[in-house]
C-alpha cells in the first residue's frame, strides 16, 4: 500500500483548479505532497495550494530538493501530474528531469509506481505529432493518461471527478 500521493502541478491555466482539487484529494487518505514546476508559480502561488490544505496539516507543499518530506529521496507513492502541459508531457516522455517536479514523476515511472498524467493543452498542441508520440510512450510505460476533454470550442484538463476516479483506482491497486 502506498501512503503518499504526489500532486505535481505545471504552468497550465487549469492550475487554478488545483487548490480545490487538492482539498478534495486531502480527504481520501494518503499524505499529499504538492510539488510545482518552475512555470506553475506564474499561474498559481504555492501558498494558495498550502492554504487549501491547511485544515489537514499532514499534507504539504514542497518547494526545494532539501525539504525534509522528500529527503533523502521522495517516498514511494502514487503520482498525479495535473495539469500537465505540452512541455512537461514531452519532457517526461523524453526522460528529461530538469526540475524537482519532473524528477519525482520520472522516478515514479522508473520505480513502476502508479503515475497519472492529466494533460492540459490547447487544440493545436494536442494535435501536434509530438503530443501523440509522448502519450503513446507514457502509455507503453504503464502511465495512466487522462486526455483533455472538450469545453465548448476548446479542450481542457479532465474534470475533477475523472481525476479523482483515476487516483482512487491507483491507490486501490497499489
**Residue range 58-85, pLDDT digits in tens:** 999 999 999 999 988 888 999 999 999 9
Which pLDDT score is estimated for 50?
A: 92
pTM value is 0.96
**What tens digit of pLDDT does each residue of 120-148 get?**
999 999 999 999 999 999 999 999 999 99
Please answer whether residues 9 and 41 qualify as being in contact, where contact means their C-beta atoms are separated by less than 8 angstroms: no
pLDDT at 116 over 90: yes
Distances (CA, A) of 23 to 18, 36, 48, 168: 8, 16, 11, 15
39, three cell numbers? 512555470
In whole angstroms, what is the distance from residue 79 CA to residue 166 CA? 11
In whole angstroms, what is the distance from residue 30 CA to residue 73 CA? 18
**b/e code 61-86 from CB counts within 10 Å (16+ = b):** bbeeeeeeebeeebeebbbbbbbbbb
Which pLDDT score is estimated for 26?
A: 94
Q: What is the CATH number of domain 4-173?
A: 3.40.50.1950
Which pLDDT score is estimated for 2?
A: 78
In whole angstroms, what is the distance from residue 11 CA to residue 70 CA? 22
Instruction: Show me where the domains of the chain are located.
Output: 4-173
Amino acid at each position: 500500500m502506498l501512503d503518499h500521493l504526489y500532486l505535481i502541478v505545471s504552468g497550465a491555466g487549469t492550475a487554478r483548479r488545483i487548490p480545490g482539487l487538492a482539498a478534495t484529494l486531502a480527504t481520501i487518505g494518503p499524505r499529499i505532497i504538492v510539488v510545482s514546476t518552475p512555470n506553475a508559480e506564474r499561474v498559481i502561488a504555492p501558498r494558495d495550494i498550502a492554504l487549501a490544505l491547511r485544515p489537514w496539516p499532514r499534507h504539504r507543499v514542497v518547494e526545494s530538493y532539501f525539504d525534509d518530506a522528500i529527503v533523502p529521496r521522495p517516498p514511494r507513492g502514487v503520482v498525479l501530474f495535473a495539469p500537465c502541459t505540452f512541455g512537461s508531457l514531452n519532457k517526461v516522455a523524453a526522460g528529461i528531469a530538469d526540475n524537482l517536479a519532473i524528477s519525482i514523476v520520472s522516478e515514479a515511472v522508473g520505480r513502476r509506481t502508479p503515475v497519472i498524467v492529466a494533460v492540459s493543452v490547447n487544440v493545436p498542441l494536442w494535435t501536434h505529432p509530438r503530443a501523440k508520440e509522448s502519450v503513446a510512450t507514457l502509455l507503453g510505460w504503464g502511465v495512466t493518461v487522462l486526455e483533455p476533454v472538450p469545453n465548448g470550442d476548446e479542450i481542457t484538463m479532465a474534470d475533477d471527478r475523472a481525476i479523482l476516479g483515476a487516483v482512487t483506482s491507483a491507490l486501490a491497486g497499489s
